[in-house]
Structure 1
Amino acid sequence: MDQRHDQIEGNSEPSHSFGQVSHLALDIGGTLIKVVYFSTSRDDCIDHEGDSSANNTLGVSKSGKHILEGRLHFAKFETRNINDCLEFISSKKLHLGGFQRCRNLAKDKNLIKATGGGAHKFAELFREKLGIDLDKEDEMDCLVAGANFLLKAVHREAYTYVGGEKEFMQIDQNDLYPYLLVNIGSGVSMIKVDGDGKFERVSGTNVGGGTFWGLGRLLTKCKSFDELLELSYRGNNRVIDMLVGDIYGGMDYSKIGLSSTTIASSFGKAVSDYKELEDYKPEDVARSLLRMISNNIGQIAYLNALQFGLKRIFFGGFFIQGQPYTMDTISVAVHFWSKGEAKAMFLRHEGFLGALGAYVSYAKNRLDDLVCNESIQIPVSASYAADPKYNPRNADLNDNESMQCSVYTA
């Protein structure tokens, strides 16, 4: 099935004319802007049984609820390129409401749900450029609501990553809480979640995705976050990191359970090698940086989980992006510090928690009223003006993927 942005299921028309669009939601962070919106699969609305409803009206389920079927779409942009995001929204008319021929779901077409610090910082820019007002939702509320939605409504959303293999976990909704949500954005927030709307931010660290991107940009001259991640994937951190074996002549420090390959000091070899930055390969620097930050986050996450007696830790945020090395490093850190008692778990839509939380905050799209089928696709991170040299897979918006959903509207 073609999941391309301009080939929405059931419609072969270009993306600017597919179905109808409703309920655009934004998460405007310090580094990235995340976008989520819903569109119908076809120009008409369809009922619960999948049949076209007469006169383009909403379908009605046996429970009496009106239903629209369509897809949730995902996209991201670097916050520094916010004008690209504005152009994307404008070109696809995402801010003009939708489903007018079916039913007006929004009380105010010019009011868009948004969260993150940028919802405050750029509010006037959105009003000036697009004529829309940002209806601001609390960032932590949205992160938790987005995570709870994914864990409850989306099949095969959570998984572990061990030894290079994903293992999808069946989450018992009756045994979901409590859990620790570790959201890795520009910084890192660690949130103890006890239920819908019941949570506490228990800790965090300023060493997060923004640290990786900022230091990486200075050290490697990479032009984008995605380029830096790709660069790190090709590197070898052992060229720069000081290992236990480097200190003990290739031997383990078995008395305290440290193998010879354990990192004793990130970037430690740069002290003894007496080399300059240009003497190191950029990919090795990027790899060491990624390893350092991932290890640090994994350790802090476990220590917080230990404090509250939590065995289940979910990691989200665009820092991860499904990168095997990032997930492996976090998983190993949690396993090491917990002595195997705790597991790191990841989410397929990890970067869109806040945007999804803002989306489900629309009054008539309550969490329980959005049902997604099992054919979930991992969202591709794309940029409206991406340079294919840096990110060839994601260079075109048409690569954005989506999940098929049904919306109960009333």
Structure 2
Amino acid sequence: MQQITAGIDAGGSLIKIVYQENGRMHFKKFSINKLDSAISWLKMVAPTLKVSITGGKAHAIQNNYYPDSTVIPEFQATCDGARFLLAKENKTIEESYLVVNIGTGTSWHLVNGNQADRILGSGMGGGTFTGLGSLLTKVKDYQLLTVLAEEGNKGNVDMLVSDIYETADSPIQGDLTAANFAKGKRHTHKEADRLASLSNMIAETIVLLTSQAAAIHQVKSVVIIGTAIIGNPSLKHGIETYLNMLGLRTVFLEKGEYCGAIGAYLSV
């Protein structure tokens, strides 16, 4: 029987699996609440498996399911996976760059060749969008939250620069945010508007921290990865727009949400 190799990234919200079979890489993800189902599926697909694991729940999976597996440090796996995908997708960056991993929260990594260091972290991320989005609306489903955020108008909830200057000449672009949620007392906004405002606030915060890190470390390119931007066009567009406005090159990886799992897979 052919032995299959796999990498598992078990994070706060999702378990992501990358496995190789017949020379091809396959990708699969499950809610972390479906951990037993994910492992049962993997054991059915690959009864004979050599595996490496990363992420916050890596040791729990190792202890309960794969005692012979290897646990790879999460940040190492993430950056190794990002390097691999950059090369695979012909998006190689010659100079130092930032990897911004937007998952449940957000982590920033400075990558220079084979050297990678985590330089910053924030609790602002996909967990914020899902959790606070559910508090601001009656919606609990992630995909529906993203649809509503795309349909909404942040200007009905956020105070914009143009709201302050009105007819006067503005020193900066009028559609930029002066104060997040500052129009919250008004009753003219809808659930979709509140979600658009939330998505914008998360994007602005991530971009602000990214721009400061880029300035400190003198980098011009930013690689955006993580599950929070998958199927969330409002958040992805906001991040890309603001980063480009600041003169930073933005690179999105097609399989960027699997960087950790790929990094674990590469270590097998």
TM-score (norm 1): 0.61
- Write 1 or 2 for the structure with the bigger share of helix: 2
Find the partner of 2:209 among 300, 325, 330. Answer: 300
2:258 aligns with 352
Aligned counterpart in structure 2 of residue 207 of structure 1, from 103, 115, 124? 124
SS of residue matched to 2:228: coil
| Structure 2: gaps (5+ residues) | none
Give unpaired runs (5+ residues) of structure 1: 1-18, 41-69, 98-108, 159-170, 363-410
- 1:140 aligns with 75
Counterpart residue identity of residue 307, structure 1: I
- Which residue in 2 is equivalent to 1:404? none
Structure 2 residue corresponding to 1:178, chosen from 96, 104, 107:
96
Q: Name which of 120, 128, 142 aligns with 2:59.
A: 120
Report deviation, 1:205.
Answer: 1.4
Aligned partner of residue 260 in structure 1, secondary structure: coil
Deviation, 1:330, is 1.0
CA 1:288–1:39 in structure 2 vs 1: closer, same or farther (change >3 Å)? same
Whole-angstrom CA distance in 2 between matches of 1:226 and 1:84: 22
Q: Which amino acid counterpart does residue 36 of structure 1 have in structure 2?
A: V
**Aligned residues of 1:21 and 1:38 also touching (Cα < 8 A):** no
Q: Which amino acid aligns with 1:141?
A: Q
Structure of higher CA gyration radius: 1
Letter in 2 for 1:215: L
Pick the aligned partner of 1:155 from 89, 94, 108. Answer: 89
Cα pair 2:146 2:231 within 8 Å, conserved: no
Letter in 1 for 2:53: A
List structure 1 runs of 4+ shifted beyond 6 angstroms.
none
Q: Give the deviation of 1:200 after TM superposition.
A: 1.3
Structure 2 residue matching 1:319: 3-state secondary structure = helix
Matched residue, 1:244? 161
Whether 2:259 is the aligned partner of 1:259: answer no
Q: 2:151 pairs with 211, 215, 234, which one?
A: 234
Pair 1:151–1:322, CA change in 2 (3 A): farther
Distance 1:195 1:81, change over 3 A: same
Deviation at 1:29, TM superposition (A): 0.5
Aligned-pair CA distance for 1:33: 1.2
> How big is the shift at 1:310?
0.5
1:318 to 224, 227, 243: 227
- TM-score between the two structures when normalised by the length of structure 2: 0.90
Residue 351 of structure 1 aligns to a residue in which SS?
helix
Q: Indicate the RMSD between aligned Cα atoms, in angstroms.
A: 2.3
Say whether the 8 Å CA contact 1:212–1:293 is kept in structure 2.
yes
> Percentage identity across aligned positions?
34
Do the aligned partners of residues 285 and 87 (structure 1) sit closer, same or farther apart at CA in structure 2, a change above 3 Å counting?
farther
Counterpart CA distance in 1 for 2:142 and 2:20 is: 27
1:343 aligned partner: 249
Give 1:193's aligned residue: 111
Q: Render the CA deviation track for 1:343-387: whole Å, top value 9, x for unaligned.
A: 22211111011000000001xxxxxxxxxxxxxxxxxxxxxxxxx
**Cα distance per residue 1:176-216 (max 9 Å; x no partner):** x41111111111111111122x1111112111111112111
How has the CA–CA distance of structure 1 residues 284 and 84 changed in structure 2, closer, same or farther, with 3 Å as cutoff?
farther
Q: Match for 1:33 among 4, 9, 15?
A: 15
Taking the aligned partners of 1:246 and 1:333, their CA distance within structure 2 comes to: 20
Task: Measure the CA separation in 1 of the matches of 2:100 and 2:199.
Answer: 17
For the 8 Å contact 2:98–2:219, the answer to whether it is kept is yes
Count of aligned positions: 268
